[in-house]
Structure 1
Amino acid sequence: MAVAVSISPAKITTTKPIIITQFPDNPKPLILEQCKTVRDLNQIHAHLIKTRFISSPSVAENFLESAAILLRHQPMDYAISVFEKLNEPNSSAYNIMIRGLTLKNFSHEAILMFKKMKETSVEPDEFTFPCVLKACSRLRALEEGKQIHGQLMKLGCRSSRFAENGLIKMYGNCGQAGIARKVFDEMSVRDIFAWNALFSGYTKSGCWKEAVDLFYYMLETDTKFDEVTLVSVLTACGRVGALKLGEWIKDYIEANGLKRNPTLITSLVDMYAKCGHVDKARSLFNQMSHKDVVAWSAMISGYNQTNRCKEALSLFHDMQKANIEPNEVTMVSVLSSCAELGALATGKWVHFYINKKKLPLTVTLGTALLHFYAKCGSIDNSIEVFKKMSRKNVLSWSVLIQGLASNGQGDKALNYFDLMLTKHIQPNDITFIGVLSACSHSGLVEKGRELFSSMIKDFDIEPKIEHYGCMVDMLGRAGLLEEANQFIQNMPMNMKPNALIWRTLLASCKVYKNVGIGEESLKKIMNLETVHSGDYLLLSSIYASVGRLEDAFRVRREMKEKGVIKKSPGCSSIEVNGVIHEFFAEDDANFECEKIYAATEKMMKRIKLAGYVMNMEDARLEAEEYDKEKSVSHHSEKLAIAFGLIKTSIGTPIRVSKNLRVCSDCHEATKMISKVYNREIIVRDRTRFHHFKDGLCSCKDYW
């Protein structure tokens, strides 16, 4: 059976050829030491045929080794042609071919060669298994690996140290860390390669705690470790927050003069960043004399994961200045930071770079792009990326469904959910958060009830607290406050409502001015956790909306008397020419504040002439009557929109991100601004997107 290998043309070389005046009686040194090119192979091959040395198994195997292994940068076609002409090749010849194919990344062909070996009744030996197991490991070919494990046991080669290490590596790479540990525990003698193979298996399988525990066991048994071990353990420390062990390793590195190892220092940077000590990570990063793409990516990822997204993008710009080409890990972190900040221009540049460099749109990178565009309100771009992805997993579908839901396209989100099922992609709990959100934002109450029931009935997915929260939000938005309240009361015993559930109901009470359920909701929150200022302010607003101003002021006094920390102020951001600008309500910190306030006043006058009427309920309660209009006019999103009007070209969309929910007055004002100025305005608030165009909003005033 011929082994299928893609044939590449041999490289042209100017290496001086071998000159053979008399062929040696022992050609082994000539073959293994002096043969450097395909031309040399051809010359020696001709002499071997002429002198009939080719019929000698040992000489033929030496020649095969040179063709398959020693000439590392040459394709395998020559070695295959030689192998196929051998008369009854033995296990050594097969071992050379399996090793060569694996070495040159023809792992699938290496497994086929092993299969051919078995079919021709050539018995594998202890040298066969490590190479074919390496091929299985690279391909994550678990079933084939298990079969080889069985053959190892049958042939009694199980005790071979190299084979056992290969088994550990293979099982670990295939996500079977438990079986890898079993093989490890049954070994009579374990070298450092066995330990490192198990550490690698744990980290690749996400068994971070097991990796940390294994290292402690290593220390207890006084087993020597090396730098490869420390890299794996530091990675695990970052994932489980084992800062104490991570710092012990840092001290060990310094005490043993290992600071020159950039891989180790990069692992330290990653460990500190993932443990939340980003400034320590940055200090180490700055001290590195040589920073490769992995080091830059670790630091950017650290900033991103601790929500210091501005610093992540700033460091990415520094990386570009240093002429370091980003990799997929870098791109995913940068896109995630762009998504959080709403930095559309920077994220689009990343997408352009991906296309320019022809980077493969892997599931991870494609899903990051999907998420980025969805979080920036460019849902059409999300759909376009989704369609171009050759492979999609359940997360890719879920991200698109959630993106459609939060951008006011609930019906389309549910259509994609149906399409997902026809493609036989099994939804998970994250998918159902997306589809329930779609129902919530689009007022599809009956459909939401149906999907919630089908989670257990049709998909055997136990609803989590987030799914109950989606249902409460859906019912509350639809004004079904009594049903929402009863739904919470009927939650199962093992799923007690948390403060967020009651806070969601309280927010709906503000929209529908329901004092009774609002008061009950606040009491429930107080019983569960320290009440936020936002909770008091919501109840205060409910009282104010029904004319109970004394109660409204009483609630605010209670808040002050109890020393409740004031909520985060409303903050809106806008990206202009790649720079993120932030605005706070009645902010005067911006260096162009006079120009911005003048633009805001002009904007407010124009929309009033067009019919806008200010909603004074959204003014600060403590503001004097003559100050209320100013208070409402200077909400952070209005300042950001005014800035966008004076800083961007006529007709271009304006994109604003806000950390809080859009108030009703800003919603009405923005609708009018979009009409008067003929601008599309996309506002991302804490819960969803609002696409304003021609005086209308994508949420259809249902939010």
Structure 2
Amino acid sequence: MLVAYGQLNNLSGSVQVFRQMQIEGFIPNQFTYPSILRTCTSFGALDLGEQIHSQVIKAGFQFNVYVCSVLIDMYAKHGKLDIAQGLLRRLTEEDVVSWTAMIAGYTQHDLFAEALKLFEEMLNRGIQSDNIGFSSAISACAGIQALNQGQQIHAQSYVSGFSQDLSIGNALVSLYARCGRIQEAYLAFEKIDAKDSISWNGLISGFAQSGYCEEALKIFVRMKRANVEASLFTFGSAVSAAANMANIKQGKQIHCMIIKTGFDLEIEVSNALITLYAKCGCIDDAKREFFEMSEKNEVSWNAMITGYSQHGCGNEAVNLFEEMKQVGALPNHVTFVGVLSACSHVGLVNQGLAYFESMSKEHGLVPKPEHYACVVDLLSRAGRLSQAKKFIEEMPIEPDAMVWRTLLSACIVHKNTAIGEFAALHLMELEPEDSATYVLLSNMYAVAGNWDCRDQTRQMMKDKGVKKEPGRSWIEVKNSVHAFFVGDKLHPLADKIYEFLADLNKRAAEIGYKQDRYSLLNDVEQEQKDPAVYIHSEKLAIAFGLLSLSDPIPIRVMKNLRV
């Protein structure tokens, strides 16, 4: 009866039978406890499971392998990994189910290195893994992109007779997709005869996480055509892929599907939608999604604060952060990156510094390199370059390239070549092949009018064989994507675009705008000093959008470089 109620997902029925059994004088045995514990695990009833665990100890079954394996599974799945590990270490028998449950628990909670270490220890003890152990270990390899180790474990599973196992096949799909191995991922996917939703989700989420978002969306479309039912996880991965591509059109289509299937009430999906709209420039849509949520978690607050920050809405981000604290939501590292960036954008230097101090003092968070970079940006934007330099020199951790690049960028704005050269020197030591350092340094000299040093920087870049990725902008017009490079004249409407831009420049000049000649010279050949013929790719894309789209349609330009 306990097993039957468990299979029907009836926790109250299971508990009633368990109590009635004891009232009538029947003593539970090694098969009774696992039956009720499994139901507690599937329902997330950890408190009840802990009470039953105390009865297990009183009844003397705390060292029973069968009972302990279920207890380890319960604690591992609910994140009580220390308790699960303690139970495993106290076992006197080598039980593959117990070890597998522990490995799966580590993998489920993203402790991938611990999972692989335990898997290796299990094999060294002479315990032959089952299919769940192999699939969990391969999933752990996927989590840390350990492709070679994952392939070795795959070979072991093949030798052990699990070549056709669905769980291992799904784990392999996820491994190859997350490592960006498109062909291998497709091959592993096609080898699965009875594909389930996990197979499809592994491909979609894996491609999205490894940056192959277009492939992820293709698989999502293919999944829908195959009439495979999309889950909460599917929609979350698809929305994230659309967000990373800034593909608002397909993102809105997926949003419509989410509403039709009823997943729009799920927190995880709403969080992904907030990020989608924020990344695509639709901050009002992001706000609407956020404020219409009936329940929010820290990811929801972080997504909205980050969205405000990315759109330069610094005060709104700071106010939302204060509201977040008032409602009892706990800020984490992501929260502070958003709020520090927001303070930087609106010049709230002292408030930003106070927030940075509060990370460790009030919230127990150790600042990461990105937080230090935010403080450097905060000080640098305000023109306090010497203070920023001193802050970097006194950092308790080694400054990374992001920190030095932030300082160098600010030196261009404030025309401080001394500190800029100091930052560039450290950058070149850390990333000698990165073109951004040379371009920023060249820009700084151009802004300062130091043409000799500018030319020397460009020559040094050529001598070292460092090449800059060309800026490129894309715009979609009438279901067709148009691409533009810097100074591009290959487009069929190039003449009209340049004529239109000339008119815009003339009209801008008439109302008092003066072009900053130096800001455009980072890629102009040294003999070319006229920026009027050097048109940035996004300007060309915007002009084409103005010429081609009707007034109500927003102009959305996608770029491969930060503007």
TM-score, length basis structure 2: 0.91
**Aligned-partner residue type, residue 474 of structure 1:** L
**Hey, what's the Cα distance between the residues in 1 that align with 2:43 and 2:71?**
14
Q: Which residue of 2 aligns with 1:31?
A: none
In the alignment, structure 1 residue 545 sits paired with structure 2 residue 447: yes
**Hey, what's the Cα distance between the residues in 2 that align with 1:340 and 1:323?**
26
**Hey, what's the Cα distance between the residues in 1 that align with 2:201 and 2:399?**
39
Could you list the structure 1 runs, at least 4 aligned residues long, displaced by more than 6 angstroms after superposition.
Answer: 116-122
Q: Which residue of 483, 486, 493 corresponds with 1:595?
A: 493
Q: Which residue of 2 aligns with 1:177?
A: 81
Change over 3 Å in CA distance of 1:261–1:157 after alignment to 2: closer
**Would you say the 8 A contact 2:138–2:154 is kept in 1?**
no
**Would you say the 8 A contact 2:472–2:538 is kept in 1?**
yes
Q: Which residue of 170, 191, 196 corresponds with 1:266?
A: 170
Q: Which residue of 2 aligns with 1:605?
A: 503
Change over 3 Å in CA distance of 1:294–1:647 after alignment to 2: farther
Q: Which residue of 1 aligns with 2:287?
A: 383
In the alignment, structure 1 residue 463 sits paired with structure 2 residue 361: no
Q: Which residue of 1 aligns with 2:532?
A: 629
In the alignment, structure 1 residue 246 sits paired with structure 2 residue 150: yes
Q: Which residue of 1 aligns with 2:561?
A: 660
**Aligned-partner residue type, residue 628 of structure 1:** P
**Aligned-partner residue type, residue 595 of structure 1:** L
In the alignment, structure 1 residue 501 sits paired with structure 2 residue 399: no
**Would you say the 8 A contact 1:600–1:638 is kept in 2?**
no
Q: Which residue of 2 aligns with 1:650?
A: 551
**Aligned-partner residue type, residue 448 of structure 1:** G
Q: Which residue of 1 aligns with 2:46?
A: 142
Partner deviation per Cα, 1:288-313 (whole Å, 9 max, x = no partner): 45543322221222221221222222
**Aligned-partner residue type, residue 629 of structure 1:** A
Q: Which residue of 507, 512, 535 corresponds with 2:414?
A: 512
The Cα shift of 1:116 comes to 6.8
Q: Which residue of 2 aligns with 1:528?
A: 430
**Aligned-partner residue type, residue 219 of structure 1:** L
Residue correspondences, number: 558
Which shifted more, 256-265 or 138-147?
A: 256-265
The Cα shift of 1:380 comes to 1.7
Partner deviation per Cα, 1:677-701 (whole Å, 9 max, x = no partner): xxxxxxxxxxxxxxxxxxxxxxxxx
Partner deviation per Cα, 1:387-445 (whole Å, 9 max, x = no partner): 33333222221121111111121111111111111111121121111110110111111
**Aligned-partner residue type, residue 586 of structure 1:** G
Q: Which residue of 469, 473, 477 corresponds with 1:572?
A: 473
The Cα shift of 1:368 comes to 1.3
Partner deviation per Cα, 1:516-569 (whole Å, 9 max, x = no partner): 111121122234342522212222222222222122112211222233x22222
Q: How does 1:248-327 map to 2 (within 5 A)?
A: 248-252=152-156, 258-327=162-231
Partner deviation per Cα, 1:346-391 (whole Å, 9 max, x = no partner): 1111111100111253332222111111111112222222233333
**Would you say the 8 A contact 2:428–2:437 is kept in 1?**
no
**Hey, what's the Cα distance between the residues in 1 that align with 2:98 and 2:165?**
22
Change over 3 Å in CA distance of 1:119–1:428 after alignment to 2: farther
Change over 3 Å in CA distance of 1:488–1:224 after alignment to 2: closer
Change over 3 Å in CA distance of 1:496–1:615 after alignment to 2: same
Partner deviation per Cα, 1:496-528 (whole Å, 9 max, x = no partner): 222221110110111111111111211222343
**Aligned-partner residue type, residue 103 of structure 1:** Q
**Hey, what's the Cα distance between the residues in 2 that align with 1:379 and 1:234?**
39
**Hey, what's the Cα distance between the residues in 2 that align with 1:220 and 1:196?**
14
**Aligned-partner residue type, residue 501 of structure 1:** V
Change over 3 Å in CA distance of 1:135–1:452 after alignment to 2: same
Change over 3 Å in CA distance of 1:526–1:603 after alignment to 2: closer
Q: Which residue of 2 aligns with 1:63?
A: none
**Hey, what's the Cα distance between the residues in 2 that align with 1:396 and 1:302?**
23
**Hey, what's the Cα distance between the residues in 1 that align with 2:14 and 2:288?**
39
**Would you say the 8 A contact 1:445–1:475 is kept in 2?**
yes
Secondary structure of the equivalent of 2:312? coil
Q: Which residue of 359, 371, 395 corresponds with 1:491?
A: 395
Which shifted more, 306-315 or 342-351?
A: 306-315
Q: Which residue of 101, 104, 107 corresponds with 1:200?
A: 104
**Would you say the 8 A contact 2:134–2:154 is kept in 1?**
no
**Hey, what's the Cα distance between the residues in 2 that align with 1:313 and 1:398?**
25
**Hey, what's the Cα distance between the residues in 1 that align with 2:508 and 2:262?**
50
**Hey, what's the Cα distance between the residues in 2 that align with 1:108 and 1:641?**
62
Q: Which residue of 2 aligns with 1:369?
A: 273
Partner deviation per Cα, 1:109-158 (whole Å, 9 max, x = no partner): 53466467668877544333112211221233333322221211111123
**Hey, what's the Cα distance between the residues in 2 that align with 1:580 and 1:336?**
21
Unaligned runs of 5+ in 1: 1-95, 663-703
Q: Which residue of 115, 119, 127 corresponds with 1:215?
A: 119
Q: How does 1:24-423 map to 2 (within 5 A)?
A: 96=1, 98-107=2-11, 110-111=14-15, 114=18, 123-252=27-156, 258-359=162-263, 361-423=265-327
Secondary structure of the equivalent of 1:583? strand
**Aligned-partner residue type, residue 450 of structure 2:** R
Change over 3 Å in CA distance of 1:258–1:660 after alignment to 2: same
Which shifted more, 394-403 or 203-212?
A: 203-212
**Would you say the 8 A contact 1:269–1:282 is kept in 2?**
yes
**Hey, what's the Cα distance between the residues in 1 that align with 2:350 and 2:360?**
17
Percent of residue pairs bearing the same amino acid type: 38
**Hey, what's the Cα distance between the residues in 1 that align with 2:254 and 2:550?**
23
**Hey, what's the Cα distance between the residues in 2 that align with 1:120 and 1:452?**
62
**Hey, what's the Cα distance between the residues in 1 that align with 2:264 and 2:411?**
48
**Aligned-partner residue type, residue 444 of structure 1:** L
**Hey, what's the Cα distance between the residues in 2 that align with 1:485 and 1:554?**
25
Higher-Rg member (1/2): 1
**Hey, what's the Cα distance between the residues in 2 that align with 1:625 and 1:265?**
58
The Cα shift of 1:191 comes to 4.5
**Hey, what's the Cα distance between the residues in 2 that align with 1:337 and 1:542?**
36
In the alignment, structure 1 residue 555 sits paired with structure 2 residue 457: yes
The Cα shift of 1:256 comes to 6.4
Secondary structure of the equivalent of 1:594? coil
Change over 3 Å in CA distance of 1:603–1:315 after alignment to 2: farther
**Would you say the 8 A contact 2:275–2:303 is kept in 1?**
yes
**Hey, what's the Cα distance between the residues in 1 that align with 2:78 and 2:277?**
33
**Hey, what's the Cα distance between the residues in 2 that align with 1:580 and 1:250?**
41
**Hey, what's the Cα distance between the residues in 1 that align with 2:542 and 2:25?**
77
In angstroms, what is the RMSD of aligned CA positions? 2.6
Partner deviation per Cα, 1:624-661 (whole Å, 9 max, x = no partner): 54763221x2x111122133234433221111232333
Secondary structure of the equivalent of 1:500? helix
**Would you say the 8 A contact 1:344–1:376 is kept in 2?**
yes
**Would you say the 8 A contact 2:72–2:101 is kept in 1?**
yes
Secondary structure of the equivalent of 1:657? strand
**Hey, what's the Cα distance between the residues in 2 that align with 1:649 and 1:399?**
32
Change over 3 Å in CA distance of 1:285–1:480 after alignment to 2: same
Unaligned runs of 5+ in 2: none
